[in-house]
Amino acid sequence: MTGRTTLFDRYRLSGLELPNRVVMAPMTRGRAAAGSLATPSMAIYYAQRATAGLIVTEGVQPSLVGQSNPGTPGLYTDEHVASWRPVTDAVHTNGGRIFAQIMHGGRVSHPETTGLQPVGPSAVAAAGDVFTPTGPRPAPVPRALNLSEVPEQARSYAETARRAVDAGFDGVELHGANGYLISQFLSSNANLRTDSYGGPIAHRIRFAVEAVAATVDAIGAGRTAIRLSPGGTFWGVEEREVPELYGALLAELARFDLAYVHLEATAEEEVLVGLRRAWPGSLVMNPAVPMGPKQADRAAADRWLGLGADLISFGRAFLANPDLVERLRTGLPVAPDDPATYYQGGDSGYLTYPAYQYAA
């Protein structure tokens, strides 16, 4: 008779052998170089955290119009690919595995950041202020994509996935959560379209499915994953019929043998457990709401492993704890992070958090 699953059991994820079930969640850090290039500091940052079973990078934009925030890295030119290779090499040298998160901001962007009017499913502005190089600004009204343009935006995920593999990534995670472009198409208030990409559930999930299908065609299902935030209200998105919406989406995605689906705890536990049962493949669960009041911890991780999750992602806990896996394994204290350094640039609050210092 075997014992219950723990965070520190090995796990076979597609073609990858993970030494534990701890995933470093994607987190924006705003430290790319001019031209949205990855930097030597980013190589150190991710390599410091390579004991995670899997690292998922900060969101990487698939195009200039897809850039949401200043200082985020891109992966749509040869220069971007070259800048990321030292990052993936450093992680692999330290024994880690790393996926790139592909993030198209859609309407959550600003002309001051990109020089372009943001695009979205409909001409409906996001709620709140967006980040720009000169400070927070009200989210602008995006340009609604023409019907003929929508497939091109879906394919941009696949084109970036190809470049990610060229740059040495083990796979990609499509950012389908938190109010960005895929999430906007799923939404019932950001997506007011009356064509084949809006209205009923079967139409609202179409963009997500096409983006995944194109990526699978480009790099294979085993290197393709997606992150979702069922019922999340980030940037003012709303979703009607959440269990039905995500049940339909997962049923479509089940046609592909994806590396994993990554869920955030943005809906009631009953809904999330139902989605776990509906999804036949590997499930990564983030037991906290991004930027919410409570961070993911060992107790929440153990609970979700018991509820059927295969892997557990931790976000903010990884910022100040590059050795988070060891701290969780041995019950060492988890150091606090400094929110003032999340996006400020530079190495302070980025590379300056040490591993646990044992007393002599």
Number of residues that make up the chain: 360
Q: Phi, psi at residue 172, to the nearest 5°? A: -135, 150
- Where does the pLDDT of residue 279 fall: very low under 50, low under 70, confident under 90, or very high at 90 and above? very high
Average pLDDT across the chain, whole number: 96
CA–CA separation, 179 and 189 (whole Å): 11
- For residue 239, give the amino acid letter: E
142 DSSP assignment:
P
Helix (H, G, I), strand (E, B) or coil at 308: coil
- The arithmetic mean of pLDDT across residues 41-67, rounded, is 98
Residues of the chain with pLDDT > 90, as a percent, come to 95
Distance between alpha carbon 313 and the CA centroid of its chain, in Å? 11
**Does residue 180 carry a catalytic annotation?**
yes
Q: Pick left, alpha or beta for residue 346 (phi over 0 → left; psi -120 to 50 → alpha; otherwise beta).
A: left
Structure tokens at 340: 């003032």
pLDDT score of 277 more than 60: yes
pLDDT at 360: 56
pLDDT score of 82 more than 60: yes
| Catalytic residue, candidates 180, 197, 350, 353 | 180
Q: Is the dihedral of CA 316, 320, 322, 325 positive or negative?
A: negative
Q: pLDDT by residue (tens digit) across 174-196?
A: 999 999 999 999 999 999 999 99
What's the number of CA atoms in the CB half-sphere (13 Å) around residue 111?
6
- The arithmetic mean of pLDDT across residues 219-231, rounded, is 98
pLDDT at 293: 76
Q: Which of 144-148, 234-238, 343-347 is predicted with the least confidence, judged by mean pLDDT?
A: 343-347
**SS3 helix, strand, coil % of the chain, rounded to 5?**
35, 15, 50
Q: Which of 37-41, 125-129, 145-149, 340-344 is predicted with the least confidence, judged by mean pLDDT?
A: 340-344
- Where does the pLDDT of residue 1 fall: very low under 50, low under 70, confident under 90, or very high at 90 and above? very low
Task: Give the strand pairing for 224-228 and 171-175.
Answer: parallel
Structure tokens at 258: 């994806």
- The arithmetic mean of pLDDT across residues 199-223, rounded, is 98
- Where does the pLDDT of residue 358 fall: very low under 50, low under 70, confident under 90, or very high at 90 and above? confident
Q: pLDDT by residue (tens digit) across 6-40?
A: 999 999 999 999 999 999 999 999 999 999 999 99
